[in-house]
Structure 1
Amino acid sequence: MTTTSTPIRVFQVATGNVGSEMIKRIATHRDLELVGVHCYSPEKIGQDAGVLAGLEPNGVIATGSIDEIIAAEPDVVTFHGVFPDEDLYVPVLEAGIDIVTTADFITGHHRNANHSHASGRPITQVLEEACQKGGSTFYGTGMNPGLAQILGIVHTADVAEIENITVTESVDVSCHHSVETWKEVGYGRPIDDPTIPDSLYKYTAVFEDSVRLMADAFDLPLDEVKFSYELGACTKDVDLGWYFMPKGSLGANYIKYQGIVDGIPRVETHLEWQMTPHTDPAWDIKGCYITHIKGDPNIYSKHMIFPKPGVRLDDPSDFASIGMTVTGLPAINSIRSVHEARPGIITSADLPLRAFAGRFQR
């Protein structure tokens, strides 16, 4: 077990939106020491990681091979790519290096159902075998899915009888400047494009995992998890500067993942997203994460996120930074607990309360 006085050696993968923000956060995190950065873009390899993150040089030079990750002998790899990379995960885990990721993994159920591995085995089996070989641990989290469901679970601690729990993300997503992401989701395509439902499901299927995580914590066997959606069409051309959506294209959505027991929705994750308020239909975006529990008693709670003093919400880069921070920090703050956990794939249900705690600055 690593003592709290010993920094954990971290090798980060990816320097995109979340990754760049986490380089900044690791630099001031009392538990962690950044010892390397792995990049997929050839033009980033060889550059100083601090510079890539918009900071002063920090002496960590970006590399581009898995061998270089393993040679650095980190304790933990943090993976902040948009999509998972099992080809990287397996040798790293086999080398005895833990992985914490914000990329499309909570329980692994949807990875097994919707993605194939070259070996023909379920992806979770491949990762579990790598963990056991190396004595390492693999953990996926984020803000949502991730912390939002943990908050939902904790909010039931004083409920005697649960009838339904719904966790809703009600947000304007235009602060997440990832063109690749939103093209994949379908934003900007004509509202009647028949490929949109499949795109929405493909990108958001990990939220089925979020429902299954909560159900697991409640010891509630589910019959199935249902996916449904509503689409909002742009009522005019919308140019965000970094993304363009023509009139009549997808600009907002309301998605439900519902865990069903005996035909009744019991555990739910909802996604109320808008890239622009100029859609039909349009939703009343609350700008927060909402936990609504029907039961004895009823619970309604909002998790609202505000910037620290001096951060300008009218500055797109500052506003985007908040979104990237709350996405990556649940992973960063969990690192010590993950590093001390048993080998294998774990979920938030396996971790102690301290895994979800932030840090006071010393």
Structure 2
Amino acid sequence: MIPTVVWGTGNVGRAAIRAVEAHPMLSLVAVLVSAPGKVGKDAGELSGLHRRLGVAATDDVDRVLAERPRAVVYAASGDVRPDGALEDIGRALRAGAVVVTPSVYGMYDCRNAPEEVRAPLLAAAEAGGGALFVSGVDPGWANDVLPLLVSGVGSEIDAIRCQEIFDYASYDQEDAVRHLIGMGHPLEYQPLMLAEGVPTMIWGGQVRLIARGLGVVLDDIDETLERRTLDTTVGTDTMGEFAAGTQGAVRLEVRGLVGGEPVIVVEHVTRIHPGCAPDWPLPPDGGAGAHRVIVEGRPRIEVTVEATDEGENRAAGGNATAVGRLVNAVDWLVAAGPGLYDALDVPLRPAVGRLGKPVQRTAAGRPGEV
């Protein structure tokens, strides 16, 4: 069993605890929190499992890392504290842990990451013997391995588009929704995540990763942005009211260009209510969220993925699949050894041992009975 720590218990951390608990090769040994009110609470309570796991949450980072856990699922936000997230991840790497996280956008494409981000993380991994894999929570697999997989069943490919279509009404992260993304603010307000260049900073790595996987040399990466206001005031269960006349929907694209034409596009369509911008893409069933890959070419291929968790919550479902990709990579990373890895390195594998009679892989890589 691989001793594993979950660091953070928000939207991503809750799903991470559940994923670690379900994995047959991982053992949850600690949960790190920053909120004083969570210290001492059982991980089962914090994760919504409704049963005790026997692991009490702690805020003592030094003690947890001193025990040299083999893996850390870093689920603390890097949106408003990027330097703090980098420092935390570096500490875990220097402690010899495999770290998986969605919190460092710049490392989606680790080979072409900004040197000021990449260099200290590589140094930490080399010093401690740790390994790092970063994949997006939007979720990353839908913007890297899924489009590459789908492209492999086509013949002629003209362009690839990855869409996240999401209704924030059920998302329990008010500061990010209101202030980072700007929902509920007048259009004169400049949200950090929509500032010029920031979408490319966040999702440009995914565009470059797809291009690298396809063997495409991009001429440039650009971005487009549209914002719409609410016609009427709307209420949400988790974040209160959003007033008429304020931002209610955002559509942005980060586009990889060849010859001036967009050939690889990562698109996000986000709303606070489905009635805002109804002419923009919607989930097939009109629900709260979906992820879609469209391969333009011959044949034209369209794949839509919908996931729910914590009841029928699609926000939680998207988080859970993103976390699943990360947590399910831990044992591969342990075997791979120290270094920095991205989605083109880390394979997608079947969920061995979690359906029916447990199985294990033989030396030849074929499933064999335990």
TM-score w.r.t. structure 1 length? 0.85
Structure 2 equivalent of residue 4 of structure 1: none
Confirm whether residue 285 of structure 1 aligns to residue 279 of structure 2.
Answer: no
Structure 2 equivalent of residue 107 of structure 1: 109
Name the CA distance, whole Å, in 2 between partners of 1:141 and 1:75.
19
Pick from 256, 260, 271: which aligns with 2:257? 260
Confirm whether residue 233 of structure 1 aligns to residue 251 of structure 2.
Answer: no
Pairing 1:167-316 to 2, within 5 Å after superposition: 167-182=162-177, 183-195=179-191, 198-199=194-195, 202=198, 205-243=201-239, 244-280=241-277, 282-286=279-283, 287-305=289-307, 313=312
Name the CA distance, whole Å, in 2 between partners of 1:236 and 1:193.
19
Unpaired stretches in structure 1, ≥5 consecutive residues: 1-6, 113-120
- Measure how far apart 1:145 and its partner are: 4.3
Question: Cα 1:295–1:323, aligned 2, differ >3 Å: closer, same or farther?
Answer: closer
Name the CA distance, whole Å, in 2 between partners of 1:334 and 1:104.
17
Name the CA distance, whole Å, in 2 between partners of 1:197 and 1:62.
31
Confirm whether residue 161 of structure 1 aligns to residue 163 of structure 2.
Answer: no
Confirm whether residue 348 of structure 1 aligns to residue 343 of structure 2.
Answer: yes
- Measure how far apart 1:178 and its partner are: 0.7
- CA displacement, residues 304-333 of structure 1 (integer Å, 9 cap, x when unaligned): 3356xxx853xxxx5554243223211111
Aligned to 1:292, what secondary structure does the other structure show? strand
Name the CA distance, whole Å, in 1 between partners of 2:25 and 2:196.
37
Pick from 306, 319, 334: which aligns with 1:324? 319
- CA displacement, residues 180-230 of structure 1 (integer Å, 9 cap, x when unaligned): 221211111112334577458647742111111111111212222111111
Structure 2 equivalent of residue 3 of structure 1: none
Q: Which residue identity is paired with 2:161?
A: T
Name the CA distance, whole Å, in 2 between partners of 1:79 and 1:289.
24
Pick from 111, 114, 137: which aligns with 2:131? 137
Q: Which residue identity is paired with 2:43?
A: A
Question: Cα 1:63–1:253, aligned 2, differ >3 Å: closer, same or farther?
Answer: same
**Contact 1:232/1:282 (8 A) holds in 2:** no
Question: Cα 1:359–1:265, aligned 2, differ >3 Å: closer, same or farther?
Answer: farther
Question: Cα 1:349–1:275, aligned 2, differ >3 Å: closer, same or farther?
Answer: same
- Measure how far apart 1:338 and its partner are: 2.0
Name the CA distance, whole Å, in 2 between partners of 1:51 and 1:260.
47
Structure 2 equivalent of residue 98 of structure 1: 98
89-98 vs 52-61, greater mean Cα deviation = 52-61
Name the CA distance, whole Å, in 2 between partners of 1:192 and 1:322.
33
Name the CA distance, whole Å, in 1 between partners of 2:354 and 2:41.
31
**Contact 1:186/1:199 (8 A) holds in 2:** no
Structure 2 equivalent of residue 122 of structure 1: 116
- Measure how far apart 1:358 and its partner are: 6.9
Structure 1 equivalent of residue 366 of structure 2: none
- CA displacement, residues 81-110 of structure 1 (integer Å, 9 cap, x when unaligned): 121511111121112111000224312589
Structure 2 equivalent of residue 115 of structure 1: none
Q: Which residue identity is paired with 1:260?
A: L
Question: Cα 1:227–1:320, aligned 2, differ >3 Å: closer, same or farther?
Answer: closer
Structure 2 equivalent of residue 44 of structure 1: 38
Structure 2 equivalent of residue 14 of structure 1: 8
Question: Cα 1:357–1:8, aligned 2, differ >3 Å: closer, same or farther?
Answer: same
Pick from 50, 57, 64: which aligns with 2:52? 57
**Contact 2:213/2:344 (8 A) holds in 1:** yes
Aligned to 2:323, what secondary structure does the other structure show? helix
- Measure how far apart 1:111 and its partner are: 7.1
**Contact 2:308/2:318 (8 A) holds in 1:** no
- Measure how far apart 1:340 and its partner are: 1.9
Aligned to 1:22, what secondary structure does the other structure show? helix
238-247 vs 93-102, greater mean Cα deviation = 238-247
Name the CA distance, whole Å, in 2 between partners of 1:34 and 1:73.
13
Aligned to 2:172, what secondary structure does the other structure show? coil
TM-score w.r.t. structure 2 length? 0.83
Unpaired stretches in structure 2, ≥5 consecutive residues: 284-288, 359-370
**Contact 2:139/2:319 (8 A) holds in 1:** no
**Contact 1:108/1:123 (8 A) holds in 2:** no
Name the CA distance, whole Å, in 1 between partners of 2:193 and 2:130.
37
**How many residues were matched structurally?**
340
Name the CA distance, whole Å, in 1 between partners of 2:149 and 2:321.
18
132-141 vs 20-29, greater mean Cα deviation = 20-29
- CA displacement, residues 47-99 of structure 1 (integer Å, 9 cap, x when unaligned): 32223224333221222233222222211100111215111111211121110
Identity over aligned residues, as a percent? 25
Q: Which residue identity is paired with 1:304?
A: E
- Measure how far apart 1:141 and its partner are: 1.3
- Measure how far apart 1:280 and its partner are: 4.5
Name the CA distance, whole Å, in 2 between partners of 1:276 and 1:186.
14
